[in-house]
Amino acid sequence: MITLQFSRAILFLTILTAAGAASQALATAGQQPPASPQPIATQQAAAAQKPAPAPGRHGVRNFTSVDSTFACGGALSEGSMAALKEAGFVTVVNLRAATEDGANIDAEIEAAKSAGIRYAHLPFVSGSPDAAKVDEFLKTVTDPASQPVFLHCASGGRASMFWAIKRVLVDGWTVEKAMAELPDLSKNVGEALKTFTLEYIKSHRM
């Protein structure tokens, strides 16, 4: 009797062990091997195929909207002029000199014509500032028929100083408030341009 019970116990353990082994085999079969990491060269190639991000809103570097009549910023990219037109801008004013790196004035003029947007080129060099360019800008930016106006240079610094002049002379702002309005654009403006800005305001203030 004891021998029979012992035999049954051995049989039960054998069946149980076999069932456990089968379950383990099924679980192992269901697992997928971990994916091997892609070589660095492959990752770099995949990244290179992704489109480069736009320089900023409307494809404009440091695009900054100020109010319903004005925005300013830095360099334009291909397609910026059409995007600015679609956004509702009537006039684009460019302060970049033709000798600046990346300043393709002829291409901007053609892009403006194609987009049906007004374009004014007022080359302004911070090292040798021309007050006449500020005079022309003020005429343009205060003309309702030209608004909204988008003003740009390379990074937005010169544009921010032109706008500060307009704020003081046209809108009646204090110099301190006007100079602090666009800190992200004006933070890298050189002392020569700041001095010119303050002197222009002083000489034209009523």
pLDDT tens, position by position, 46-70: 333 433 334 468 999 999 999 999 9
- Cα 194 from Cα 192, distance rounded (Å): 6
What's the one-letter identity of residue 116?
Answer: G
Contact 110, 95 (CB under 8 A): no
pLDDT at 36 over 80: no
Q: Which residues contact 192 (CB under 8 A, 6 or more apart)?
A: 126, 127, 129
Using CA atoms, how far residue 82 sits from 53, 96, 117, 128, 206, in Å, is: 18, 19, 8, 32, 39
Domain 57-204 of CATH type 3.90.190.10: yes
Between 4 and 143, whose confidence is greater? 143
Structural element, H or E, at residue 71 = strand 70-73
Domain ranges of the chain: 57-204
- Cα 57 from Cα 120, distance rounded (Å): 21
Least trusted range by pLDDT, from 11-25, 51-65, 151-165: 11-25
Average pLDDT over residues 81-102: 97
- Cα 204 from Cα 206, distance rounded (Å): 6
Sign of dihedral through CA atoms 175, 181, 182, 188? positive
3-state secondary structure of 151: strand
- Measured from the Cβ of residue 101, the count of other Cβ atoms closer than 10 Å reads 7
Average pLDDT over the chain reads: 82
Average pLDDT over residues 185-196: 95
